[in-house]
């Protein structure tokens, strides 16, 4: 999203919680992303600039978590136990990693992960693995698990940092579906990533069944090879998650009944009926709470402020 897009979404959120009766303060945390990603499977599959654009934004998401935590710490000092956090889509990488970095210190009363673009295994290792077989126009593409699953339980301790954690999910979410977010993740490790004039290829030299600590990730250019230590360097781990390590499950924001959360809320039961008859599969519904008009979307904001989320505790 471009900067003005982010500001319009935030302004929309502020107005709609105000219309629901909210009288408190409101803030937007804006983190650096690229924009213009179309999500077409052909673009993802060919490792084009747009795919690098998306995964580069994911890297920025991981890297922005400390900045968000700094602000949450400041706010919690000013308003102890009265800080509430809503994140949308890839913003949930920033939010979840910020909570993880806070350790056992509670910095938010309640955190709502809405349509979260991060693997469900970060909270629940019992979510089934998806298939690595991908069909394009009925033709199977030769995909495989090339890296170990390093995401297991990465956020499972976040309950210490948030008094309550709620997932707002849509199993038919357009952006998180098989041919968009899932395919992008299946096709990691990335190839031909342009960084400061150098093209890098990411890879893993070990076996997918390797136990932790998984220090066999690397990236190489025509002139050099760099090995990643994801145990002692958090920056290395963030880069590996963004460009190299494959998730094994559907996204948190498209998965029902995820364990280790306070609550899971099915957005299909919150939104009005889908007038297209396509069961909430269209792109609009990935950001419907911002893009739809208020009479259509007021139930979302009521749910957010109500007993299912921010008034849960």
For the segment 149-182, what is each residue's pLDDT rounded down to a tens digit? 999 999 999 999 999 999 999 999 999 999 899 9
Domain count, the chain: 1
Instruction: Please give the pLDDT value at position 54.
Output: 86
Residue 214 belongs to a domain: yes
**Between 134 and 124, the higher pLDDT residue:** 124
pLDDT mean across residues, the chain: 93
Residue 255 belongs to a domain: yes
What's this model's pTM, rounded to 2 decimal places?
0.94
Residue 115 belongs to a domain: yes
* Average confidence (pLDDT) over 272-282: 96
Instruction: Please give the pLDDT value at position 197.
Output: 86
Residue 313 belongs to a domain: no
pLDDT in tens, 202-254: 999 999 999 999 999 999 999 999 999 999 999 999 999 999 999 999 999 99
- Domain of 233 in residue numbering reads as 3-22+32-305
Residue 310 belongs to a domain: no
pLDDT in tens, 20-40: 999 999 999 999 888 777 666
Strands 198-204 and 217-220: antiparallel
Question: Would you say residue 313 has pLDDT above 90?
Answer: no
pLDDT in tens, 131-150: 998 887 787 776 889 999 99
Residue 95 belongs to a domain: yes
Instruction: Please give the pLDDT value at position 42.
Output: 61
Residue 27 belongs to a domain: no
Three-class HEC string of the chain: CCHHHHHHHHHHHHHHHHHCCCCCCCCCCCCCCCCCCCCCHHHHHCCCHHHHHHHHHHHHHHHCHHHHHHHHHHHHHHCCCCCEEEEECCHHHHHHHHHHHCCCCCCEEEEEEECCCCEHHHCCCCCCCCCCCEEECCEEECCCCCCCCCCCCCCHHHHHCEEEEEEEECCCCCCCCHHHHHHHHHCCCCCCEEECCEEEEEEECCCCCCCCCCCCEEEECCCCEEECCCCCCHHHHHHHHHHCCCCCCCEHHHCCCCCCCCEEEEHHHCCCCCCCCCCCCCHHHHHHHHHCCHHHHHHHHHHHHCCCCCCCC
213 cis-preceded (ω within 30 degrees of 0):
yes
Residue 312 belongs to a domain: no
pLDDT band at 65 (very low <50, low <70, confident <90, very high): very high
Q: At which residue do the structure tokens 């795919």 appear?
A: 51
């Amino acid at each position: 999203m471009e900067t003005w897009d982010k500001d319009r979404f935030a302004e929309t959120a502020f107005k709609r919680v105000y219309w629901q009766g909210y009288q408190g303060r409101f803030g937007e945390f804006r983190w650096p992303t690229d924009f213009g990603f179309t999500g077409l499977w052909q673009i993802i599959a060919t490792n084009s600039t747009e795919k690098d654009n998306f995964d580069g934004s994911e890297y920025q998401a991981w890297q922005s978590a400390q900045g968000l935590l700094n602000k949450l710490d400041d706010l919690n000092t000013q308003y102890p136990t009265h800080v509430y956090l809503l994140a949308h889509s890839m913003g949930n990488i920033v939010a979840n990693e910020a909570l993880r970095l806070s350790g056992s210190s509670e910095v938010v009363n309640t955190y709502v992960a809405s349509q979260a673009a991060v693997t469900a295994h970060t909270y629940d290792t019992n979510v089934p693995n998806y298939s690595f077989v991908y069909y394009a126009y009925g033709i199977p593409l030769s995909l495989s698990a090339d890296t170990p699953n390093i995401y297991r339980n990465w956020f499972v301790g976040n309950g210490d940092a948030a008094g309550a954690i709620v997932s707002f999910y849509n199993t038919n979410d357009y952006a998180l579906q098989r041919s968009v977010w899932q395919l992008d993740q299946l096709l990691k490790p990335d190839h031909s990533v342009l960084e400061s004039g150098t093209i890098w290829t990411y890879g893993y030299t070990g076996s997918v069944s390797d136990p932790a600590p998984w220090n066999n990730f690397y990236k190489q250019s025509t002139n050099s090879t760099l090995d990643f230590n994801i145990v002692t360097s958090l920056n290395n781990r963030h880069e590996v998650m963004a460009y190299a390590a494959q998730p094994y499950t559907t996204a948190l924001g498209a998965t029902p009944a995820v364990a280790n959360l306070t609550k899971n809320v099915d957005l299909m039961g919150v939104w009005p009926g889908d007038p297209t008859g396509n069961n909430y599969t269209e792109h609009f519904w990935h950001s419907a709470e911002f893009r739809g008009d208020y009479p259509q979307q007021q139930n979302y904001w009521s749910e957010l402020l109500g007993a299912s989320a921010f008034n849960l505790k």
